[in-house]
Structure 1
Amino acid sequence: MNSVAHTTNPPQMQHKRAFALPSLRAWLAAGQWLVTLLLCAFLIVPVVMSILAGLTVNYFQGVASGLTLRWLGEVWTQYHASVFLSLEIALATLVITLLTGVPAGYVLARSESRASRIIEEFLVLPIALPGLASALALLVVYGGFTMFRTSVAFIVVGHVVFTLPFMVRAVAAVCASSGLRTLEEGAASLGASFFQRFITIVLPNVRPGIVAGALAVVTLSIGEFNLTWMLHTPETKTLPVGLADTYASLRIEIGSAYTILFFIMTMPLLVAMQWLGVDATGQRNTRQKKTRVIDTTSSAENQS
C-alpha cells in the first residue's frame, strides 16, 4: 500500500502540471509568428488599400461610396496599348536572353579560367548599377542613331542588359552541379557528340534554371521603370511608365486601378514560380532532380 501511495500523484500535483506555463521555446516561436504576421500586415495592407481605392466610386469617401469597375475600364481604354507593348518587350527580351543566357551560363559554369570569372563579373555589373546609369550609358553610345533610339528595340536592348545576369546565374547554378558533369562524361564515353549531349543531357537537367531565369526575366521586364523611363518615347510608353503618369496627372482612383492591372499581370508569374517549385537560383527538390537524372541517363544510353 505504501508503494502504491508513493507512486500515485496527488490530484493537486496533476492540476498544477495541467496549467504549467509555456516553455521558453514556445514563447520564442510565438514571438517569431507575431513578428512575421506584423511584417506581412505592414507589406500587404497598403496593397489591399490601393486595390480598394481602384474599385471604389470615391476614394475620399471610402468603400461606403460603393464599388465600381469604372476606373479599370478607363485605364484599359487609355493605356491598353502600353499593356501590349510591355508584353511584347518582355517576350522579345525573354527570347534574346534564352538564346544568349543559356549557352553563356553553361560555358561560365564549365570554365574555370580567370577570364570567365571576369566576364561573369561584367555580366553582373548592370545589376549593381542604378537603372538610370545603365540607360544613360546606352543613350551616350547609341543615342545618335535616331531610328534605333526611337524604336522599341532600344528599350529591348536595355531590358536585355538588365535581365541577362538573372538568366545566366540561374542556368550556371544548375550547370555547376557535379552530377551533370558526370552524366556528360558518361554520354561522351558512349560516343555521344557535343550536340547530342547538350540536347539530351544538359537542357533537360538545366530546365529548372531556365524556367527560373525565364520567369525572372519576364517579371523584371514588365516591372522595370528606371531604365525604361530614360529610354522611352511618347510612342514607346510601357506599363510602369504609364503607371507613373497616372499617379502624377490623374485622380488617385485611376492610378490605383492601374495598380490593379499591373498586379493582375505580374502575380501569375510569381505564382507560377512557386507552383513549379523553382527558386531564384534554379534549384528544385532533390527527388525531382534524381528522377530527371535517371530519365536523361537512360535516354542517352538508348540513343547511343
Structure 2
Amino acid sequence: MKRFPAVSTLIVIVAALYFLVPLYATFDFSLRMERGVLSFAAYRDVFQSDTFIATLTFSAIASLVAIVLGALIIVPTAYWVRLKLPKVRPLVEFLTLLPLIIPPVVLVFGYMRIYGNDSFLPLTTTDPGTNVLLVIGYTILSLPYMFRAVDNGMAAIDIATLTEAAESLGASRMRTIRTVIFPNVRSAIMSGAFLTFSISLGEFVMASLLNRPAFGPYLVQMGQDYAYQPAALAIMAFGVTWASMALMQLFATRKPGQRLFPRIPSFTPRSVKP
C-alpha cells in the first residue's frame, strides 16, 4: 500500500492558508462598512464613483493598446529569430528580460529626460504624448511575458514547414506571418495578453510619475483616504487577476484551431413511419 503523503499535504495546506486567510480577512473587513451588519456598501460606493470608472477605463484601454503593440513587435521578432537567426536568440531573451531587471522608476525618469521640455520631441508636455509614453512603458513591461508565451507557442508548431508551404503557394513573408503564424500562436498570444493585462492594470510607478489617471494611483489614493473601500478594491483587483490567470490557462491548453468551448451537437428528430 502506498503511504499517505503527509508532508506534502501539510505544505499545501499551510501555503493555502497563507494566501486564503488574509484574503478572507480582507473580504470580511470590506463587508463591515455599516456598523453591526454585513453588507456590500463599500462595493456599492466604489461602483458609484465616477473616478473608479474613469481610471479603470483608462488603464484597461492603455493595457489593451500595449498588448496589441507588444504582439505586433514580439510575434514577427520571435518568428524571424526561430526561422533565420537562432544564434541571436540568447541576446533577444536577455533584452526581453531587462524590464524585470531595470526598475520602472528608472524608465520613467529616462522618458522625462529624453522627451522633456528641452527635447526635440516634447511628449511629456501634452496629455496625448504622455499617454503614448505610458502605453510604450506598458509594452516594455509586457516583453518578458509576451516573448516567452509566443516563443513557447512557436516551439509547438513547425514554422519552417508552414513557411515553406505558404511561400510555395505564392504568399509573401508578411502575409505568411499575418495569415499563417498569427493564427497558429493565437493561444500563446492570449496567454501573454491576459498576464500583461493583470500586471498593467495595477501598475503604479509609471502612471504616478507620468501623472496619468490610471487605476494603480487610484488604488493608492483610496488607501490613504478611506478604510473599507480599499479593501473592496483589493478584492476586486484580486478577482480580475485570477480571472486573467484562469483565462490564460484556458487558452494555453487549447490547440491551434481548437474551439474554446465545444460545439453542442444538434439532434434532428427522425421521422416516424406510421
Match of 1:256 in 2: 231
C-alpha displacement of 1:105? 2.1
Question: Quick check: 1:167 aligned with 2:146?
Answer: yes
C-alpha displacement of 1:150? 6.9
TM-score (norm 2): 0.79
Q: Give runs of aligned pairs for residues 216-295 of structure 1, distance below 5 A.
A: 216-231=195-210, 233=211, 236-250=212-226, 252-276=227-251, 278=252, 284=253, 288=255
Contact 2:70 2:139 in 1 (8 A): yes
Aligned counterparts of 2:258 and 2:159: Cα–Cα separation in 1: 13
Contact 2:105 2:205 in 1 (8 A): yes
Pairing partner for 2:30 from 48, 54, 67 = 54
C-alpha displacement of 1:271? 2.0
Q: List runs of 5+ in structure 1 lacking aligned partners.
A: 1-22, 279-283, 293-304
Per-residue CA distance 1:137-191 (angstroms, 9 max, x = gap): 2222223321158732232121112113322222122224562323333444455
Equivalenced residue count is: 251
- Letter of the 1:244 counterpart: V
With over 3 angstroms needed to count, the CA separation of the structure-2 counterparts of 1:172 and 1:98, relative to structure 1, is same
C-alpha displacement of 1:40? 0.9
- Letter of the 2:200 counterpart: S
With over 3 angstroms needed to count, the CA separation of the structure-2 counterparts of 1:291 and 1:82, relative to structure 1, is closer
Aligned counterparts of 2:258 and 2:29: Cα–Cα separation in 1: 48
Mean Cα deviation higher: 100-109 or 110-119: 110-119
Question: Quick check: 1:181 aligned with 2:157?
Answer: no
Per-residue CA distance 1:212-263 (angstroms, 9 max, x = gap): 12112212211222332322x2xx221121111111222x212112213323
- Letter of the 1:184 counterpart: T
Secondary structure (helix, strand or coil) at the match of 2:249 reads helix
Secondary structure (helix, strand or coil) at the match of 2:126 reads helix
Contact 2:99 2:143 in 1 (8 A): no
Mean Cα deviation higher: 110-119 or 197-206: 110-119
Match of 1:154 in 2: 133
Match of 2:3 in 1: 26
Match of 2:65 in 1: 92
Match of 1:101 in 2: 74
Aligned counterparts of 2:173 and 2:53: Cα–Cα separation in 1: 46
With over 3 angstroms needed to count, the CA separation of the structure-2 counterparts of 1:148 and 1:109, relative to structure 1, is farther
Question: Quick check: 1:131 aligned with 2:110?
Answer: no
C-alpha displacement of 1:267? 3.2
Aligned counterparts of 1:202 and 1:98: Cα–Cα separation in 2: 12
Contact 1:138 1:158 in 2 (8 A): no
Contact 1:108 1:120 in 2 (8 A): no
TM-score (norm 1): 0.72
Per-residue CA distance 1:62-108 (angstroms, 9 max, x = gap): xxx21122212222314221111111111221221122222122222
Aligned counterparts of 2:150 and 2:94: Cα–Cα separation in 1: 15
C-alpha displacement of 1:39? 0.3
Question: Quick check: 1:80 aligned with 2:53?
Answer: yes
Contact 1:215 1:269 in 2 (8 A): yes
C-alpha displacement of 1:46? 0.8
With over 3 angstroms needed to count, the CA separation of the structure-2 counterparts of 1:160 and 1:289, relative to structure 1, is closer
Aligned counterparts of 1:142 and 1:149: Cα–Cα separation in 2: 13
- When Rg is computed on C-alpha atoms for both structures, the one with the higher figure is 1
